[in-house]
Structure 1
Amino acid sequence: MDRVRDNVDRNGPERFEDVDWDAIDAEGRRLTKTRLAAFVACGLYVLTLAYDVLVAGDDATFEISVGLPWSTTESAYVWDVTAVDWLFVASLLVVGFALVPVARNRRLRAYYWRRFRRHRPAVISAWYLLCIFLLGTVGTLFIEPPSLDVAAAYQPPVFLSVEASIPTECVGPVVDGRCRGTWEYPLGTTGEGKGLAALAVFGMRVSMQVGLIATLISVAIATLVGTTAAYAGGWIDEALMRYVDIQQTFPTFFLFLFLAYLYGGSLFVLIVIFGVTGWGGIARIVRSEAIQRRQEQYIAAARASGASTLSVVRRHVVPNVSNSIVTAATLNVPFLVLSEAALSFIGLGDVTLPSWGQTIATGRGDLGTAWWISTVPGLFLFATILAFNFLGDALRDALDPRQEV
């Protein structure tokens, strides 16, 4: 559209039907540095994934030597690449390149930031979630996975103390018959001697993977279904919305039980179920917004200019409902995180991964003597869900122009 404005400025007013839309489309397809970076990143991702699937197979691991600042030796971190890891990397690529247009537009970025920073709890929540994300992704490279150490069971958090008879062996100092916490286990340990700090950090990775991957799957399906229903109308709209009604009444829990019985309660199965069954509500929001946009003059102008249905939906409908999509997706993440924690709490999650819900369940029998085992991951879970809710409310107000005051 900048080219159209330039032509109007130089040559005077120009009729709409005289605009060279083919030239504009060709300019939109021009290879830029951002698109080149996207192609390279996606190409490397596809090649690495192909190598993992076709060549390495189940033996695909990456060993990284990490020198910890408090240690004189390097520890080797072995990353056993799983299907969830590949989905997580793909999700990060999608989110990263989706944020590029806003990041490059200084005026738009400043406008959204001015509206967003009015909500102080949301700003604090955004910084908290950024820390959770970094700890759950990058931080796991610097922290050894929690390991069994019965001798270090029931150690209290640092600055706290318990009766010396509660821990198996007190790692910290014993003062007046009470075992004090130590920085070796800053958040204490479980009944198996696993450090709660490491369990909390690795639990962050599980929560971020579930929330991000499942939400992106749901958003992709919901956007396709919602825009198709709104733009096509008629029997297609009716059929799609009736399917949404049926899907939302279907007990997802029993579907997970069935697939867990067939394939095991893996995190991959859980994410796929959340993603392919949790898009109904978002699809309704997208459809409602798209129906309103369908009546706008720019949609009629695009049709009159000869634009195809796919082009109208891709270039006009979807971008103009993206604000509602982002808000709905942000508010969907805490539901997914809480659902994963609930399933792990009752023992239906992936027992090989240190989830927050699993850690809470581990300490529910020790609340009288070792209350910190369930309390620490419970506080992280509570704070994360609350932060996402604050963030979603603030994004709704910042992205919706109807919220102007």
Structure 2
Amino acid sequence: MYLTQSTQAFYENLPVSADFDVMADPARYIPLPDDWYVGVADIVGSTHEIARGRYKAVNMVGAAVISAQLNAAKQARLPYVFGGDGAGFAVWPAQKGAAEKALDAVRRWARSEFAIELRVAMVPVRDIRAAGRDVRVARYAPTESVDFAMFSGGGLAWAETLMKTGRLGLREDVHGEEAPDLSGLSCRWSNMQARNGAILSVVLKPSNGVSENDFAIVARDVIGAAEKTEREGHPVPRNGPEIRYPPVGLALEAQAQHGARPVWLQKLVLLAQNLMIWGLFRSNTRVGRFKPSQYRSSIAPHADFRKFDDGLKMTLDCDTATQGRIEAVLRDAADKGIIRYGLHAQDEAMMTCFVPSAVDEAHMHFVDGAAGGYARAAAKLQG
């Protein structure tokens, strides 16, 4: 039984590491308390939506799940992970009702604004353990201002599988028609061109029955292969991505934040706001505590281009040699029955952001490949 620290303080009190390599170590992960809840969300037919060219909308909906949960928790720290076409998270017992309300609201919003169907579910951690899986978390903090949760134990993947088969789900319309609070959700930055050759989306999962230690060895080898390239394959430029006017994601952001306003009116508001922002970045003009150059240089360290979520996912800017090293490691491990893996190469990476305020240092940036990314890599899982 894991009943200690069952409030939000559990996650806040976990040890923090700035070294991503150690996130492969199963010993770094701490079991969630039994009375916590795990939430999962996944877009129905995401590969079809991506094939229609709607990958920005797919990423926006996936990031909206996290945005809604953070706002529902009033910015309290909670463990979450962005999956491209969905997301996973965990909340303490007192947050369960607000988390369900936010999930249901995002589901209705995705349907009404984008005609996208979103599966959502929540399940007690104790039920996951009763099914023979676990949910353990670790905190990776690339900077002092932001951290990202890593998940292990198979519980997140188990819940998502049951949700996709219809055996687990959140009943619809149990919380009325209130819109989700998506404050801070944005996608204003331009896509990021590959500098080294290609943006490679990497997804690897442990095969059934494989120990966490055996999977960790493969994960370390893949991370090591990626680290041999420039900036460990980080796809976000050191000084941040390019910003254009009008921003390419303006229509999506208007649909996310229009509330009671007509979408067209929200677009006009955003056009005016973004014109000012574009001007500040172009001229590098400081306004109060906001320093454009400082903000841009902080984007890359705050971007989640690699993560553990019952497996390993990475969005890498890599050359042919690096891609070859990664593929060699993956093929060998798959041949030995240790992993299943999928790869998808594209020309650009994209970013969807959660920015509580322009001067808040805890801004977060969710990275994916700009032509299908994780969803297309996952669809190619083999081994």
User: TM-score, length-normalised on structure 1?
Assistant: 0.23
Of Structure 1 and Structure 2, which has the larger fraction of its residues in helix? 1
Larger radius of gyration: 1
Of Structure 1 and Structure 2, which has the larger fraction of its residues in strand? 2
Structure number with higher relative contact order (C-alpha < 8 Å, ≥ 6 residues apart): 2
User: TM-score, length-normalised on structure 2?
Assistant: 0.24
